[in-house]
């Protein structure tokens, strides 16, 4: 029997999900660019794959916001919004901890979720994944900028077609006309031409290389040798950046997992899942760190005197606490006339920093704030690690009244409405190497 389609609330949006199988552990399937829960059951190999997973897992599948049976949205969601959806679906399905199976672009979601919420992640299972999808000077795999723009333009003009499906868009086998016909109908049902183009444009901005070393849950990475979407060497590189990750290569010139060797792949997944049923524990997590302080505090004291300065500082602290609470930030500590806070998503952190900046201006205070996303060590009620020092140095480098972020933060909010001014590479005191920084532009 096909499972019932249900809906989880993620903010104000409805995210469609299905639960199937009766295995002893949960597996959450993060799909590729677009999916359709109910059409999944119409192709025998896809249906069999889901059913077979259900013999050793309780399988939780969902359609990402903007696709399939989930609510449509304008543009494309950010990675942060996508991992919010994973958490919302897990909560609705009453799944405390799960293996996260990231398929294709869904692997980016899985990696960010596993690094941010290790306490809810039993392990990561990644298929057909790259850390980014467009070539750069320091990343030799993926489409060129020109090839990517051509693909997006074709999607905008004509929607999904056979060239997109059999090429670098979806990597569907060329020698199976019946599957190709079904795949075109499936993806056209999953997203409109404009939505597909927006999703692929967002995907082209994804770069998760900086967060991969922050993953400390068991990880299995799998790829086909001739995959036209995810280069096998790029997948191997992704696995090498995750401590202890296992990489397994399978033959084939397609992106699909459901070929004649799917039994071998499922056996590998089953062994991975059964062999790591214990909960993952780590005192290191991925977080977005915000440092902020008051510009010219000494001048304020000299002008106001100690008592009035203390009153102003109390009002400032109340504003900061209110804004942090509004954006799900956690205040770690106050630092004289400054503060240190963490967030489980970079977009929320940027919005909070901008809201603090604007709110404290109304009481006559200017701030400088710095943001970085990286691995933190949890030490009782405090945090430590190089990422914390880096965020502090970025705050020091910010101009009065400005919010400055690392390139990692900028990359992770790809597809959002934020605009940034490139401030170039900086040498930050006490932090090795050069760091490229970006200033959040005011709206």
Distance CA 391, CA 346 (A): 13
> pLDDT at position 76, please?
77
Q: Are 350 and 440 a contacting pair, CB within 8 Å?
A: yes
User: What's the confidence (pLDDT) of residue 278?
Assistant: 42
Q: Name which of 304, 366, 310, 346 is nearest 438 in CA terms.
A: 346
User: How high is the pLDDT of residue 279?
Assistant: 42
- Distance, in Å, from the CA atom of 198 to the CA atom of 313, rounded to the nearest integer, reads 44
Nearest Cα to Cα of residue 3 among 79, 100, 69, 82: 69
Q: What pLDDT sits at residue 78?
A: 86
Going residue by residue through the chain, which has 443 residues, state the pLDDT in tens, using 9 for 90 and above: 689 999 999 999 999 999 999 889 999 999 999 999 999 998 888 888 999 999 999 999 999 999 999 998 877 788 899 999 999 999 999 999 999 999 999 999 999 999 999 999 999 999 999 999 999 999 999 999 999 999 999 999 988 988 888 888 788 877 778 888 888 999 999 999 999 999 999 889 999 999 999 999 999 999 999 999 999 999 999 999 999 999 999 999 989 888 778 889 999 999 999 874 444 445 788 999 999 999 988 888 888 888 888 899 999 999 999 999 999 999 999 887 889 999 999 999 999 999 999 999 999 999 999 999 998 887 777 888 888 989 999 999 999 999 999 999 999 998 888 999 999 999 888 777 889 999 999 87
Q: Give me the pLDDT at residue 282, please.
A: 56
Q: What pLDDT sits at residue 353?
A: 96
The Cα–Cα gap between 313 and 69 comes to 49
- In whole angstroms, how large is the CA radius of gyration of the chain? 23
Q: What is the 3-state secondary structure (H, E, C) of the chain?
A: CCCCCEEEEECCEEEEEEEECCCCEEEEEECCCCCCCCHHHHCHHHHHHHHHHCCCEEEEEECCCCCCCCCCCCCCCCHHHHHHHHHHHHHHCCCCCEEEEEECCHHHHHHHHHHHCHHHEEEEEEECCCCECECECCECCCECHHHHHHHHHHHHHHCCCHHHHHCCCCCCCCCCHHHHHHHHHHHHHHCCHHHHHHHHHHHHCCECHHHHHHCCCCEEEEEECCCCCCCHHHHHHHHHCCCCCEEEEECCCCCCCCCCCHHHHHHHHHHHHHHCCCCCCCCEEEEEEEEEEECCHHHHHHHHCHHHHHHHHHHHHHHHHHHHHHCCCEEEEEECCEEEEEECCHHHHHHHHHHHHHHHHCCCCCEEEEEEEEEEEEECCEEECHHHHHHHHHHHHCCCCCEEEEHHHHHHCCCCCCCEEEEEEEECCCCCCEEEEEEECCC
Q: Return the pLDDT at 259.
A: 78
Residue-level pLDDT at 431: 78
CB neighbour list of residue 72: distance below 8 Å, 6 or more residues apart: 66, 195
pTM of the predicted structure, to 2 decimals: 0.85
Residue 321 CB burial class (10 angstroms; 0-12, 13-18, ≥19):
middle
């Amino acid at each position: 029997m096909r499972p019932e389609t249900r809906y989880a609330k993620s903010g104000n949006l409805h995210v469609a999900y299905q639960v199937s199988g009766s295995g002893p552990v949960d597996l959450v399937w993060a799909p590729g660019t677009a999916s359709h829960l109910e059409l999944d059951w119409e192709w025998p190999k896809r249906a069999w794959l889901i059913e077979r997973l259900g013999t050793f897992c309780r399988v939780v599948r969902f359609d990402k916001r903007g696709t399939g049976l989930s609510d449509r949205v304008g543009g494309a969601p950010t990675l942060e919004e996508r991992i919010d959806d994973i958490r919302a679906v897990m909560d609705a399905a009453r799944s405390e901890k799960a293996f996260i199976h990231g398929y294709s672009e869904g692997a980016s979601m899985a990696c960010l979720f596993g690094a941010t919420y290790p306490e809810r992640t039993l392990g990561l299972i990644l298929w057909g994944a790259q850390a980014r999808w467009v070539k750069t000077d320091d990343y030799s795999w993926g489409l060129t900028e020109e090839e990517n723009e051509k693909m997006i333009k074709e999607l905008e003009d004509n929607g999904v077609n056979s060239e997109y499906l059999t090429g670098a868009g979806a990597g569907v086998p060329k020698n199976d006309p019946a599957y190709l016909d079904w795949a075109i109908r499936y993806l056209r049902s999953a997203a409109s031409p404009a939505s597909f183009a927006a999703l692929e444009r967002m995907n082209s901005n994804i770069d998760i290389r900086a967060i991969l070393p922050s993953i400390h849950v068991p990880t299995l990475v799998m790829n086909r040798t001739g995959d036209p979407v995810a280069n096998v060497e790029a997948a191997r590189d992704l696995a090498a950046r995750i401590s202890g990750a296992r990489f397994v290569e399978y033959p084939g010139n397609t992106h699909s997992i459901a070929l004649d060797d799917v039994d071998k792949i499922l056996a590998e997944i089953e062994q991975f899942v059964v062999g790591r049923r214990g909960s993952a524990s780590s005192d290191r997590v991925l977080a977005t760190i915000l440092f902020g302080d008051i510009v010219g505090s000494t001048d304020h004291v000299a002008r106001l005197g100690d008592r009035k300065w203390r009153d102003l500082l109390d009002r400032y602290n109340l504003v900061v606490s209110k804004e942090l609470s509004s954006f799900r930030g956690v205040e770690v500590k106050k630092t004289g006339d400054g503060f240190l806070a963490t967030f489980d998503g970079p977009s929320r952190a940027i919005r909070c920093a901008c809201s603090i900046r604007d709110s404290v201006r109304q009481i006559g205070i200017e701030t400088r704030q710095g943001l970085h996303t990286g691995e933190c060590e949890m030490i009782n009620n405090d945090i430590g690690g190089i990422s914390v020092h880096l965020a502090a140095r970025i705050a020091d480098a910010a101009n009065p009244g400005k919010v400055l972020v690392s390139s990692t933060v900028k990359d992770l909010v790809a597809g959002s409405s934020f605009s940034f001014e490139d401030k170039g590479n900086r040498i930050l005191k006490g932090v090795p190497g050069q760091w490229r920084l970006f200033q959040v532009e005011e709206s």
